[in-house]
Amino acid sequence: MTISIGCDHAGFPYKDAIKEMLKSKKMEVIDFGAHSESSVDYPDFAHPTATFVEEGLANLGILLCGSGNGVAMTANKHNGVRAALCWTKELAELARLHNNANMICIPVRFVTEEEALEMVRTFIDTNFEGGRHERRVNKIKLNC
């Protein structure tokens, strides 16, 4: 499995721990930055991370920023990307199970590093349930 990951300066402190956990699970991780806590603009990292998911070069994506909102809004501009803002493992599970989310957005200013790791583990280990949820997910994309 290939995972794309990106963050802004606020998300940087958790990124390496998440990458190490993913690599320990034998996953390929593509890191789009940021690479320090120096102030940056989140779209510069969210767009390439989401593009890899959009183009099928990554199975799933992870985005981290202070609130999670900016990266989620940015990622959701990409066709076929369903980026879910999650702050608990239960939301991460439901995002995959019911919404077939393919990106998780984590608000690092509101969760601990351990909670972030638990959310990522849950997100990756949960499969889409399909059924009645598939019909709903298929209605997300606009037909324009």
Q: Are strands 2-7 and 28-31 parallel, antiparallel or unpaired?
A: parallel
Would you list the DSSP string of 60-115? EEEEEESSSHHHHHHHTTSTT--EEE-SSHHHHHHHHHTT--SEEEEETTTS-HHH
Set 65, 78, 86, 105: catalytic member: 65
Q: Is 98 a catalytic residue?
A: yes
d(CA 144, CA 141): 9
Set 7, 9, 98, 105: catalytic member: 98
17 upstream amide cis, omega within 30 of 0 = no
Q: Is 144 a catalytic residue?
A: no
For residue 87, what are its two tokens? Answer: 């702050």
Number of H helices, E strands in the chain: 6, 5
Enumerate the active-site residues: 65, 98
